Amino acid sequence: MSCFTMHARDGHARAGTLRTAHGTVQTPAFMPVGTQASVKGVTPSELSASGVEMLLANAYHLYLRPGKDIIARAGGLHKFMSWNGSILTDSGGFQIFSLARLSHVDDEGYHFASHLDGSRHVFTPETVVALQEALGSDVAMVLDQLVPAGVDEVVAREAADRTLRWAARAKSAIRRADQLTFAIVQGSTYEGLRKQQAQALAALDFSGYAIGGLWVGEERSRGLEIVSVTAQELPESKPRYLMGVGTPEDIIDAIARGVDLFDCVYPTRCARHALALTSRGRLNLRNAAFANDFTPLDDACSCSTCGSFSRAYLAHCFRAGEMLAARLVSVHNIAMLVAIARAAREAITGGTFVAWRDRRLGMLRESVASA
């Protein structure tokens, strides 16, 4: 039985339900990032209250610290971090890519040095499957090889073909029937290569598919073109996940191109820099104008931060160096992205997605122009 049901379409935009061992996820959906089994500054109960149904943790970081054995003894990742919803674990390919000076790749897998203590390790498609099965996540990503923007097609093809071979090896290594496994389409910004890889991975019949290797230095417009090309080659009946993308504008534009799932550190990173996301753009709470502004961050937001605290109070906390400020704005920013995905779903279901998209993007563009 498929883990994904599509309920409505409006153009390429889709509204569906993803079923996991820990419940259902209504798509489109935004997943906050809990890299080390912790979404920075936000408790599981606050995530749940914000409407989060699924979050992301990172297998690379959890492998190094605290280690899969400790998490397994705790009863799995859900119990370890006290989260009852769904969890997707990334394979660690991006982290090894970002720490390229500490690693090298061959057909076996990634050979890398820990960024913590320099100890040497090897990730293969098989060991990454076993690692994520030990963690007990609901969705596990296969090991993939990323390349930076601007590489030539020969280099991009070599990495994409290796990712395809690794995906086949990963599928053969799966032992848990209660864990979904998603493959990852690579291919840099080469449309023909992306199409070939998507078709070949679709033939392997994974539970879902991710579009990886974008937003790593290419022009945003080109990234969106590649999302369109890739998404249309993936099975209609399977969920589609755009990895590492999470600004309001990017989420809305990618939903329009047929993407169902998103993750990014963006909302909590913005919060730590005093940036609040609103339906009319971003607010820099360090600006003097907010010192006497006693309105909530966003009048339309129902999060606990907007229900209790003013812009003036949050601006004061940032100026005073209070850690509460980043926590409160993190809760709000996550709630805003979850709300955007929910509103998109409602618009898709109601057949009004294009008008909704244009209105929301127009409001965000006006805020940038007036800033």
Residue among 90, 253, 260, 298 flagged as catalytic: 90
**Burial, 172: exposed, middle or buried (Cβ in 10 Å; 0-12, 13-18, 19+)?**
exposed
Rounded Cα–Cα distance for residues 210 and 241 (Å): 4
Alpha helices (H) in the chain, listed in sequence order: 44-49, 59-64, 68-73, 77-81, 93-98, 125-135, 153-173, 191-203, 220-231, 248-255, 266-272, 304-308, 311-319, 323-350, 353-370
For residue 250, indicate whether it is catalytic.
no
- Is 138 labeled as catalytic in the residue annotation? no
Task: Specify the amino acid at residue 27.
Answer: T
| Phi/psi-derived region of residue 118, left when phi > 0, alpha when psi is between -120 and 50, beta in every other case | left
Query: CA angle, 55 as apex, 218 and 361 as ends, to 5°?
Result: 50
Of 10, 253, 263, 298, the catalytic one is 263
What sign does the dihedral 122-184-164-99 (CA atoms) show?
negative
Residue positions annotated with a catalytic role? 90, 263
